[in-house]
Structure 1
Amino acid sequence: MIDVTDKHIVVIGAARSGFAAAVLLQQKGASVFVTDHGTITPSIKRQLENHNIPFEEKGHTKQAQKGDFAVLSPGVPTEATVVQYYLESGKKVFSEIETASWFTDASITAVTGSNGKTTVTSWLDHTWSLGNISHETAGNIGYAFSEAVTTDAVDDILLEVSSFQLDHIDTFKPHISIILNITPDHLDRYNQDFSSYAASKFRITENQSADDWFIYNYEDSTIRKHVESLKKKERHPKLLAFSDQQEIVNGNGAFVRNQNIILKFNQQEEVLMPTTDVKLSGKHNLNNGLATALAARASEIKSDVIRESLSTFEGVEHRLEQVRTVNGVSYVNDSKATNINAVWYALDSFNVPLTLIMGGRDKGNDYSELVDQIRNKVHTIIAIGEAKPLIEEQLKTVVPHFKTAENMNEAVRTAKQGAKRGEAVLLSPACSSFDMYDNYKHRGNEFKKAVNRL
């Protein structure tokens, strides 16, 4: 535990994570000042005032430069002027998850990856609950790590962590770390450099030792290269690979043989359950289930609990969420699919003809990566948002029907006109939501409202 008593600490960014870090640091005896480049929401302002934490908004003054060190909210880029001031002055900048980790003795299981983080973190929460293990689930999932450590002490903390949260760690050390996959995403925060983005993800393992575990996707060549470099460390974490494509021959992990999930620990194999008993559909969710099972086994959770979890977990809201069936047509909300890879996985999980609603604020996407999947499964694309022209340019000739809509209600009504019984209408945007909505949840909820109006 790091002593912050009488330290003057500046928290940069006053969204949920920043506010939670400020309150935690004040409780631990620090003098805290909060600064935000934008407008602080009225509710957080009220709470800062209630805690007697001084703050500023709509820009950073000289007051923001006076900290002994700075704590950074994940939404604030490293390139921000005030962050650069600290770094160039030789002062430390810590992420919120780094700061929170100073004040807990709980065992940390941390999940990262370009896709599937929320699903796996929620699946772990379901498993730990079934196993009656005291835990908190926090991080990028909507409940800040700093909030979790101010509650009653628990045995385990389950964290969803993003690359942004890993950018400024120092001593953060999960007992179990998981990397699900690494595909191009958020490259605007990493100078369009995929290797820099991947390096941020890999920081999840940098403080782990031989007493810890690293669970990784064996099919991801970028991650496998990292594993080879990890093996050169004298006290690297114990390695557990997962794959739905091939057996784990050298080493331990989880894989599929004859439609059964096999767990392999200490070179001993155990047939866990048939893959057909996993409730969540799709190959990507099978991999998510394998990662969940490995984390549970590394935490010494019994096989019957793991089996129950894999056969009962129903997924998370806004990720391939079944909304309703209207006149034999299934409507599916995958608003959380904010990059190309996530949409590819979504399409891969369907075996019926599709109408695909996509679009929003483009993130530098190459939509042509979806051409094979779309050609095989999608008869109609309905494009929405700022990305409409780009999607039209790259995908119009790939489908029999290409349409555009001005809003979600129009998109859903247009989809209804062309979808036939036995088919599905899928919202899987491949884009961020910020051109039209507050966030992906807002977008998904608008889709559900539109579907429920049919």
Structure 2
Amino acid sequence: MGLIVQNIEGKKVTVIGGARSGLAVARLLKKMGADVFISDMKKPEEIKYVKFTPEELNSAGIKYEFGEHSEKVYDCDFMVISPGVPSNAPVVQKAMELGIKVWSEIEVASWFCKAPIIAVTGTNGKTTTTSLIGHIFKTAGFKTIVAGNIGAPFSDFVLDADEGSIVVLEVSSFQLDHIENFKPKVAVLLNITPDHLDRYDSFGDYILSKFRIFKNQKEDDFAVYNYDDEIVQPYVESLNVIKLPFSVRDKLSCGGFIEDGYITLNFKNKKERILKMNNLRIRGIHNVYNSLAAALAARAMEVKDEIIRESLQSFEGVEHRLEFVREINGVKFINDSKATNVNSLWYALESFDEPIILIAGGRDKGNDYSKVYDLVKRKVKLIIAIGESKNKIYNEFKNLTNVIEVDSMEEAVKKAYENSAPGDVVLLSPACASFDMFRDYEHRGEVFKKLVNEL
């Protein structure tokens, strides 16, 4: 792969955003010889995940400013923005008006990547599928780097990857918005449903961002995609790449599907039953989709069926995604804090047959809850609404089930347990962002687990 752009030695680069991704790409660019300047509207003590002091930036030779974006940010050959910086931020808009190229962190890191990249995007399932693909390749004995939107910036690890390595990246729409040369050998698109409508002018714009994962693929690259998704399927069918669809509804002549209850791959005219769906350790139909996608990505890179089978069977899932926390007096507590949209909530509700006490709410992202009305009516005995959106949730569901509003996670867990009976599931599946009450979804999940373990 090598360097895609010209040598960046001596190039002036502005990095907007001084949290994890921004710091990582700044260090990488400095190491590769660039003259780097970091700018963040927040002060260092206000930035999440900060593990540095200004003195450390000084010793690394990285210039910086915090608490403002001064005119100095535009004195650069190109700009790199962190995923948390919207494309419509004034500093980004002005840079583009001035003709300054604006890249995402994954774009820049990919310039220095010698290993093939498997990139995973979609509205839901990215973290689970990325982790599962990484698990398969580690089981197969590859030097495997799992990074990206999963919490480990690509820039921190890209120089560790050699030609015999595999890089597995979770990529968000925000990261894809500012790519130009980023080219995965295998691009995985899991699904597209409305999300992040607070960051995009329309659902159509969000869809186009997701499709950018295929932007630079050639005819010998692989597109792994959800055949059952009516938005994804017609678009990918038009691409000039090796197409590997997956479906739970239909048997496919090429790709991954379910046959007689088995996860089945049909690849290069060889059909192989991999594993019974019931033998997956991760539950829910959404995880059947995730497992099919991961299996196809591995098969595209010629991982043997036996390794895929072993890996699917041993994979235990990821933290904060339908994570079993504890059972108390016959009541199961499940942490699904990563469910930050309505579609994730739908999958969570679909995964349980037991009566559900649902803890939901947080910062609304333009949610349309109508998709889960039927599931809530059939399965949920009580909703405990939290956060900024608690009143909206109350009004949405008050005619379908019992709903109460509370002011804290502590009160939510207490009320859930008080109202539970043996055989119930207490499910934290917020369908909202966490930033009104917590640092992030991980912090929200950790607080929930701590409170449950204190009952």
Fold agreement, TM-score > 0.5: yes
For the aligned residue pairs, the C-alpha RMSD in angstroms reads 1.1
Checking the alignment, whether the CA contact within 8 Å between 1:177 and 1:204 is kept in structure 2 is: yes
- Between 103-112 and 367-376, the greater mean CA deviation after superposition: 367-376
- Between 59-68 and 81-90, the greater mean CA deviation after superposition: 81-90
Alignment partner of 1:126 out of 104, 128, 135: 135
Residue 152 of structure 1 deviates from its aligned partner by 5.5
SS in structure 2 opposite 1:357?
strand
User: Following the alignment from structure 1 to structure 2, what is the Cα–Cα distance between the partners of residues 215 and 293?
Assistant: 10
- Between 285-294 and 76-85, the greater mean CA deviation after superposition: 76-85
Matched with 1:338 is 340
SS in structure 1 opposite 2:8?
coil
Matched with 2:430 is 429
The sequence identity of aligned pairs, in percent, is 49
Checking the alignment, whether the CA contact within 8 Å between 2:161 and 2:167 is kept in structure 1 is: no
Letter matched to residue 349 of structure 2? L
Matched with 1:62 is 71
Matched with 2:51 is 43
Alignment partner of 1:355 out of 354, 357, 362: 357
Residue 44 of structure 1 deviates from its aligned partner by 3.0
Matched with 2:299 is 297
Matched with 2:192 is 182
Residue 25 of structure 1 deviates from its aligned partner by 0.5
* Structure 1 position 411 matched with structure 2 position 402: no
Checking the alignment, whether the CA contact within 8 Å between 1:355 and 1:419 is kept in structure 2 is: yes
User: Following the alignment from structure 1 to structure 2, what is the Cα–Cα distance between the partners of residues 58 and 188?
Assistant: 24
SS in structure 2 opposite 1:188?
coil
Matched with 2:393 is 391
Checking the alignment, whether the CA contact within 8 Å between 2:391 and 2:405 is kept in structure 1 is: no
Matched with 2:117 is 108
Letter matched to residue 277 of structure 1? N
Residue 45 of structure 1 deviates from its aligned partner by 3.4
Alignment partner of 1:239 out of 240, 243, 262: 243
* Structure 1 position 155 matched with structure 2 position 157: no
Residue 228 of structure 1 deviates from its aligned partner by 3.1
Residue 28 of structure 1 deviates from its aligned partner by 0.6
User: Following the alignment from structure 2 to structure 1, what is the Cα–Cα distance between the partners of residues 187 and 333?
Assistant: 35
**1:162-311, aligned counterparts within 5 Å?**
162-191=172-201, 193-230=202-239, 236-249=240-253, 252-311=254-313
User: Following the alignment from structure 2 to structure 1, what is the Cα–Cα distance between the partners of residues 86 and 393?
Assistant: 28
User: Following the alignment from structure 1 to structure 2, what is the Cα–Cα distance between the partners of residues 408 and 80?
Assistant: 32
Matched with 1:141 is 150
SS in structure 2 opposite 1:319?
coil
Checking the alignment, whether the CA contact within 8 Å between 2:244 and 2:255 is kept in structure 1 is: yes
**1:433-444, aligned counterparts within 5 Å?**
433-444=434-445
Give CA deviations for 1:386-413 in whole Å, capped at 9, x if unaligned.
Answer: 11110011101111x2112111111111
Letter matched to residue 257 of structure 2? F
Give CA deviations for 1:394-437 in whole Å, capped at 9, x if unaligned.
Answer: 101111x2112111111111111111111110000011111110
Checking the alignment, whether the CA contact within 8 Å between 1:368 and 1:395 is kept in structure 2 is: no
* Structure 1 position 34 matched with structure 2 position 35: no
Checking the alignment, whether the CA contact within 8 Å between 1:332 and 1:424 is kept in structure 2 is: yes
Matched with 1:233 is none
Checking the alignment, whether the CA contact within 8 Å between 2:115 and 2:161 is kept in structure 1 is: no
Matched with 1:22 is 26
Alignment partner of 1:320 out of 313, 319, 322: 322
Checking the alignment, whether the CA contact within 8 Å between 1:71 and 1:93 is kept in structure 2 is: yes
- Between 326-335 and 150-159, the greater mean CA deviation after superposition: 150-159
User: Following the alignment from structure 1 to structure 2, what is the Cα–Cα distance between the partners of residues 159 and 152?
Assistant: 13
Letter matched to residue 44 of structure 1? F
User: Following the alignment from structure 2 to structure 1, what is the Cα–Cα distance between the partners of residues 267 and 237?
Assistant: 20
With structure 2 as the length reference, what TM-score do the two structures score? 0.96
Residue 316 of structure 1 deviates from its aligned partner by 0.4
User: Following the alignment from structure 2 to structure 1, what is the Cα–Cα distance between the partners of residues 34 and 400?
Assistant: 58
User: Following the alignment from structure 2 to structure 1, what is the Cα–Cα distance between the partners of residues 185 and 258?
Assistant: 26
User: Following the alignment from structure 1 to structure 2, what is the Cα–Cα distance between the partners of residues 81 and 408?
Assistant: 35
Q: How many residues align?
A: 445
Residue 229 of structure 1 deviates from its aligned partner by 2.8
User: Following the alignment from structure 2 to structure 1, what is the Cα–Cα distance between the partners of residues 377 and 89?
Assistant: 42
User: Following the alignment from structure 2 to structure 1, what is the Cα–Cα distance between the partners of residues 97 and 43?
Assistant: 26
Give CA deviations for 1:273-327 in whole Å, capped at 9, x if unaligned.
Answer: 2211111111000110000100111111111110011111110000000000000
Q: Where do 5+ consecutive residues of structure 2 fail to align?
A: none
Letter matched to residue 160 of structure 2? T
User: Following the alignment from structure 1 to structure 2, what is the Cα–Cα distance between the partners of residues 224 and 269?
Assistant: 22
User: Following the alignment from structure 1 to structure 2, what is the Cα–Cα distance between the partners of residues 264 and 182?
Assistant: 24
Matched with 2:448 is 447
Checking the alignment, whether the CA contact within 8 Å between 2:237 and 2:243 is kept in structure 1 is: no
**1:364-375, aligned counterparts within 5 Å?**
364-375=366-377
